[in-house]
Amino acid sequence: MYRKDFILRMIEMMAELVAGILGLIKKRNFEKASETIENAYTDFLQQDAVFFRNIKAGQLIDKLLKEHNYTNDHLEILAELFYVEAELLFAQEKTAESKEFYEKALILCEFADKEMRTFSFERQSKISLLQSRICQLSDLKK
């Protein structure tokens, strides 16, 4: 029970953090948003942001689950961090970079959706949002 309570508290903290970062992005306080994201990687996942950024999208699941013993819960947290990082880059008009982070977040969300034993409207909504953003950015390149 302790582990479940701890995980639920981490997820609540992550939701609050994501909301705060999105607020900073909306206010165009990109430097503070970036700093908060950087700190979140270390605080929640015990690795610096560069470690996760350097993993190619196609290697995310295998590398993190098998080589680094991350759990599905860790992957959901990472998906949220990739999402807010994508939002920051999108706001800064760095479309190619933002698309890469949206794609990584989508891979992790879809994996979590397959692995979790419960249906989540929130997860489905996030997957739809990510797919929409990726399509939007793909259309910009045409």
Q: Report the C-alpha gap between 47 and 86 in whole angstroms.
A: 19
CA–CA distances in Å: residue 75 to residues 30, 70, 92, 93: 25, 7, 25, 26
pLDDT in tens, the chain (142 residues): 446 676 677 778 888 999 999 999 999 999 999 999 999 999 988 899 999 999 999 999 988 888 888 888 888 899 999 999 999 999 999 999 999 999 999 999 999 888 877 777 888 899 999 999 999 888 876 5
**Which amino acid type is present at position 64?**
L
| Single pTM value for the model | 0.89
Number of domains within the chain:
1
| Domain enclosing residue 131, as ranges | 2-141
